Structure 1
Amino acid sequence: MSETLLASRAAGTEAFVPAVSGARQFWRRLRAQRAALAAAAVVALLVLVALAAPLLTAVEGQDPTTYHPSLVDSARGGVPVGPLGGISGEHWLGVEPQTGRDLFARLTYGARVSLGVALAATVVQVTIGVTLGVAAALGKRWLDQLLSRFTDIIVAMPLMIMSLALLAIVPSSFPRPVLVALVVGLIGWGNIARIVRAQTLTLKELDHVSAARLSGWGTWSIARRELLPAIAAPVITYAALLVPTNITVEAALSFLGVGVKPPTPSWGQMLTAADVWYQAAPQYLLLPAGALFVTVLALTVLGDGIRTALDPRVSSRLRIGTGRKRESRPDERPGRESRTARGGAA
């Protein structure tokens, strides 16, 4: 890839220094946003916990599915035995009411399910949305009309209602996390297809795309070499904002009983029965709810930071009024009157 060269003079000779690449500019803008960096650190920690869930639970010596009836008081309806919901050296965050399953193990494995379903659904949404958006913008008029009307129908569909309907009729033998990711991904791609179509319609009229067309490049060669790199920034931005939305959708579906089924742990599925235990075992409700809140907040802040870093116009607007004060001109320095002031005094 060719780099833009900036000329600079040094010791009477001209030296050419490569300009800062787009990737370096992106990282520089992103590093300037402390909130986005903090959110990225939180997201990285959550991903690390999700990936290392088997190792962490092995260190604790527990797993997310084993029942411990001796750790709950059946006479009181299954309340965990011991202080703070059964927290001990063997169960770091206590145990689940009625079943006695380890909460730390279920929380860490639930992170794998929630984040995995959200990321998989986002990949499906981006793949379908980019493909149909580019095809609509570059295709013939009838194809554009057909795909645009189909996209309008998808956008008009209520995501939660359609997901509930589809998940309710699929046999329970189908892996539930995979099914939730597919359903959410196949229903939620409409908005990104609209964004890609609008961007592609604008870009295909530019001079370099016209020159590529006149050079004999095919439609898909132009899309792959000229258009897809140009629409990468808005697609990445929208995808970063889709992940927290998909986490919320998965949690809501699991909470309603049509998402991830027990004994597979999921934060939304853990909240399904936690509302009746908020007094006897408050951590059973607060831990998955807090994990969902922190994850969605961190991903939202990170997505907004990525949007700002990828859009130079947003970055320049944020800098207005925040830079250094303009240095005063020589004729405006203290003790020296400007020409205008002298004329007015005369």
Structure 2
Amino acid sequence: MSETLVAAGADASAPAAPGARRFWRRLRAQRAALAAASVVALLVLIALAAPLLTALEGQDPTTYHPDLIDSARGGVPVGPLGGIGADHWLGVEPQTGRDLFARLVYGARVSLGVALAATVLQVGIGTAVGVTAALGSRSVDQLLSRATDVIVAMPLMIMALALLAIVPAGFPRTVLVTLVIGLIGWGNTAKIVRAQTLTLKGLDHVAAARLSGWNTLQVARRELLPGLAAPVITYAALLVPMNISVEAALSFLGVGVKPPTPSWGQMLTAADVWYQAAPQYLLLPAGALFVTVLALTVLGDGVRTALDPRAASRLRVGTGRGDAGRTGKETTA
């Protein structure tokens, strides 16, 4: 994936990155990306409004309801469809009786929050390392490139499992999972940024900035970072669903977010033995994960197409519209 993004962004002869208006016009032309963006916005809204939604239901994610559990049947919820009713919109958890709707919406806060924060950390570290390697001396470039290769070669899940297992239990688990994912997963971002920065260094406007007396920091901030926006944003959009899956996997393995803090991966861990007696307990978090990852992946692909002029050109060719008409519209915009 990273090699494809580098190839897409590293052609110096490609037109400059489109402005905001052109980007939004290209993004709006993709119905799948718009639908995915709507789904992502709805999920973020649900996560932010979790306290309000649970207050409307009259429940919270941690209160046990033993009266709603049939202990004679091993802890299966009482009532049809896992105890769904006016008081519990999606039913209750087996064995504990905790409200599933409350745990699902609060779990969205954890899963999305960890993924977004880890992505910001990965992009920040990767961009800093990539730009420094490309603009530094040969020895600095070699040192940072070898360090990046080591990070990329590390198996993320194994390293995360090892680090999470040795950290004291008192450390906030959500923060720890975010740090582990962010500090281990920045290697591909650094490679993309370094490759693109090396390409941008050879352009005339960057050379002119250097000849005018600008120092390296000024050149990077004013000339290079704007050109890096498209590949970095594109890759960041693809990192978010990957990080959601990593957080869910870590929680599923029992080393991620700890109870009573709800998480979709943690809910899947507890639901693996209830898929026959209470299938909604497994299907709800699994479905939420699937929809979130799918929507973010489609949105990331749409952002890539909108930011890459060549991809947008291929998209227009596929629509069968005339080149002359398209050129006139682009000029007018």
Structure 1 length-normalised TM: 0.88
Identity of paired residues, percent? 85
Q: Which has the higher contact order (CA 8 A, sep 6+)?
A: 2
Distance 1:273 1:324 in 2: 53
| Partner residue of 2:202 out of 201, 205, 225 | 205
Distance 1:282 1:234 in 2: 41
1:224 counterpart residue number: 221
| Partner residue of 2:262 out of 250, 261, 265 | 265
Within 5 Å, give how 1:162-311 maps onto structure 2: 162-311=159-308
1:117 counterpart residue number: 114
Q: Deviations over 1:248-274 (max 9, x none)?
A: 000000000000011100000000020
Q: Deviations over 1:96-131 (max 9, x none)?
A: 000000000000000000000000100000000000
Within 5 Å, give how 1:1-346 maps onto structure 2: 22-324=19-321
Q: CA deviation at 1:39?
A: 0.2
Distance 1:325 1:24 in 2: 22
Displaced runs of 4 or more, over 3 A: 324-327
1:5 counterpart residue number: none
SS at match of 1:182: helix
Relative to structure 1, the CA distance from residue 161 to residue 326 in structure 2 (aligned partners, 3 Å threshold; closer, same or farther) is: closer
Relative to structure 1, the CA distance from residue 317 to residue 103 in structure 2 (aligned partners, 3 Å threshold; closer, same or farther) is: same
Relative to structure 1, the CA distance from residue 268 to residue 154 in structure 2 (aligned partners, 3 Å threshold; closer, same or farther) is: same
Distance 1:324 1:295 in 2: 33
SS at match of 2:273: helix
Distance 2:78 2:195 in 1: 59
Q: CA deviation at 1:322?
A: 2.4
SS at match of 1:244: helix
Relative to structure 1, the CA distance from residue 72 to residue 321 in structure 2 (aligned partners, 3 Å threshold; closer, same or farther) is: closer
Q: CA deviation at 1:325?
A: 6.3
Distance 2:303 2:225 in 1: 18
Distance 1:22 1:120 in 2: 27
Gap runs ≥5 in structure 1: 1-20, 328-346
Distance 1:236 1:212 in 2: 25
Whichever residue aligns with residue 48 of structure 1, its letter is L
Q: CA deviation at 1:205?
A: 1.0
Distance 1:263 1:324 in 2: 56
Q: Deviations over 1:41-99 (max 9, x none)?
A: 00000000000000000000000000001000111111000110001100000000000
Distance 1:257 1:34 in 2: 39
1:9 counterpart residue number: none
Q: CA deviation at 1:25?
A: 0.2
Whichever residue aligns with residue 224 of structure 1, its letter is R
Q: Deviations over 1:123-161 (max 9, x none)?
A: 000000000000000000000000000000000000000
SS at match of 2:160: helix
Relative to structure 1, the CA distance from residue 148 to residue 81 in structure 2 (aligned partners, 3 Å threshold; closer, same or farther) is: same
Relative to structure 1, the CA distance from residue 321 to residue 104 in structure 2 (aligned partners, 3 Å threshold; closer, same or farther) is: closer
SS at match of 2:59: coil
1:12 counterpart residue number: none
Distance 2:270 2:38 in 1: 31
SS at match of 1:97: coil
Distance 2:323 2:175 in 1: 57
Distance 2:180 2:319 in 1: 45
SS at match of 2:272: helix
Distance 2:128 2:319 in 1: 41
Distance 1:228 1:320 in 2: 31
Whichever residue aligns with residue 247 of structure 2, its letter is E
Whichever residue aligns with residue 192 of structure 1, its letter is T
Gap runs ≥5 in structure 2: 1-17, 325-333
Structure label with greater radius of gyration = 1
SS at match of 1:166: helix
Relative to structure 1, the CA distance from residue 57 to residue 232 in structure 2 (aligned partners, 3 Å threshold; closer, same or farther) is: same
Q: CA deviation at 1:36?
A: 0.2
SS at match of 1:162: helix
Structure 2 length-normalised TM: 0.91
Q: CA deviation at 1:321?
A: 4.4
